[in-house]
Structure 1
């Protein structure tokens, strides 16, 4: 096996860091995630001191009595918001890594491959026809739309004697995404009421987090994470090329199907919970590759740290710069992710997948 093949199979280093240095970076990322989670609980529409946060977690009050709303503010609003940020950030990052591995395309992510367009199209259709208006309704419809788009991309990418190939998947996702985006615009333009309702979901955010809304989707995300971990070794083999992977005993179609299923569960679930949030699934896997190399077992693990760190930090930034209002996290991730992605591309740091 050549050095190039070793890198593509996951044995090549990212920055050439030793195990000790990589461990220090992982510990630093964990510490940074803990810090931004604490900041997420501290900062909001009203000033809350550390002592008040401690009281909110230790008091048995329900936040409606003498606590002046502190318990309700912290526990009922900010904690679910932080938890949702962790879940969605990890799900989007891991989903992006899986899609890039399946497609062998460094630009693959849920938005580019049509999943977000499928969710958006379903939401717009439901708003226009049945008057969709509640977060729970958005979640169900977006989940169905994203999953349906993913299945359609798989079917279109598998047509033909050659079966499923990365190029066909990418083309199918791009074409389907463009078509659904056009149809979404065609439905919205004549309907001002649809545009008014849809625009709040379209931005992508976690400000409406509630544990009861998250609960139905969490099992699906857990299954997606399990499939991602299970697929990591197969993705390393697929990076060598279909023929080489088959020669090493990997069922190429089965490996792609499992990884794709995990990516769909994670991306559709996160889109259902928080709307279409861009750049997390695109940028985070590249950042992970720079640190740990091309081994998907390490990439997926690191994505579970960097994704939540980026999303929760973006949410905190959005709250700080516009207090007492909020800038939705989807806007902040775009403002952060776009320059980072351009910098990676210009400096040649977008490593092969």
Structure 2
């Protein structure tokens, strides 16, 4: 067995166990701690008059499911973006994808108060495409605008601009309190109804990503190399962007903006497993789910008994990692 296959074997063996442990702890601990026996009893014999059982099924369980799903989606979206663009700084939060989603969700909440949850998810996905198109379109007009550092700067500036417009509109219509949840991740208000809508749509995005995994590996070698190997690069890019839009759009529609998952997790997977996207994409989904669940747990205890927005935790990890990547790799293109 080769070294890479050994790494993959141990990753496949250990990570599911870690996810189960983190998920159980996430259900048990928070503002009110719940015993493991009560958790088990709520599963095998739910009692609607038991407060702990109500907390588990109406609050903690939807939250855990949402965090697992969103972590997987954002990590896979980041992996695809890094592979196709060969940009080690590419991620939905840095290149304006999540900002575009949050912006159209904001517009929908302000101007279409009666919008259905399904239409909200579809608008969120459209917003992902809008954000990415603005960033890459503007970068293509600037000399060396598609280089990693310049693209990251452009993405951050445009993303901040879009977010500022959304916030200003929400304040003007006196809905800033409602919109704040979308920009700070509203994990405590996740409802099973939205999970039922977002998960099937998100799975489509994950399946597209898995189907493209071999093509993304070839694209990560460079566009000229990919063309010489018979890849239809334009089709791969379009389908990759569609997958990113689905994954990011459903994640933002479900819980709001969460940054840096799509940046950090794919790099961790490369270090732990392989540089082959046939392994990076599924392993990123698993690692992303675990990573965000742990961040959610940490967010509950930074300022206990009050919850800290999970975006603060991911930023505390992601910003130093972002600066480390810039310092280590400079302005060079990412190479798989």
**TM-score band, normalised by shorter chain:** 0.7 to 0.9
DSSP 3-state at the match of 1:216 = helix
Q: Which residue of 1 aligns with 2:18?
A: 32
Matches within 5 A, 1:1-353: 17-61=3-47, 63=48, 65=49, 67=50, 69-130=51-112, 141-150=123-132, 156=137, 170=151, 176-177=158-159, 179-184=161-166, 186-187=168-169, 191=172, 193-343=174-324, 346=327, 352-353=335-336
Offset of residue 287 of structure 1: 0.7
Cα distance in 2 between the residues matched to 1:179 and 1:301:
33
Tell which deviates more after alignment, 286-295 or 17-26.
Answer: 17-26
Q: Distance in 2 between matches of 1:18 and 1:257?
A: 30
- The CA deviation string for residues 190-212 of structure 1, in whole angstroms up to 9 with x for no partner, is x3823333222211242222211
Distance verdict in 2 for CA 1:219–1:294, change over 3 Å = same
Tell me the CA shift for residue 89 of structure 1: 0.3
SS of aligned partner of 2:300: helix
SS at match of 1:217: helix
**SS of 2:188 mapped into structure 1:** coil
CA distance, structure 1, for counterparts of residue 324 and residue 139 of structure 2:
34
Contact 2:128 2:249 (C-alpha < 8 Å) held by counterparts: yes
**Larger displacement relative to structure 2 (235-244 or 139-148):** 139-148
Q: Secondary structure at the match of 2:189?
A: coil
In 1, Cα distance between the equivalents of 2:125 and 2:236? 24
Q: Which moved more, 1:50-59 or 1:20-29?
A: 20-29
**Alpha-carbon distance change, 188 to 71 in structure 1, aligned in 2, over 3 angstroms:** closer
- Structure 2 vs 1, CA of residues 344 and 107 (structure 1 numbering), >3 Å: closer, same or farther? closer
Deviations 1:135-182 (A, max 9, x none): 88865653443344346667x48999xxxx966995885675355245
In structure 2, C-alpha distance between the alignment counterparts of 1:170 and 1:234, rounded to whole Å: 23
Question: Contact conserved, 1:100 with 1:109, CA < 8 A, in 2?
Answer: yes
Question: Aligned pair in 2 of structure 1 residues 186, 323: CA closer, same or farther (>3 Å)?
Answer: closer
Larger radius of gyration: 1
Question: Which deviates more, 208-217 or 219-228?
Answer: 208-217
3-state SS in 2 of match to 1:207: helix
Gaps of 5+ in 2: none
The TM-score normalised by the length of structure 1 is 0.81
What's the TM-score, normalizing by structure 2?
0.85
Change (3 A) 1:150 1:93: same
| Alignment RMSD (CA, Å) | 3.3
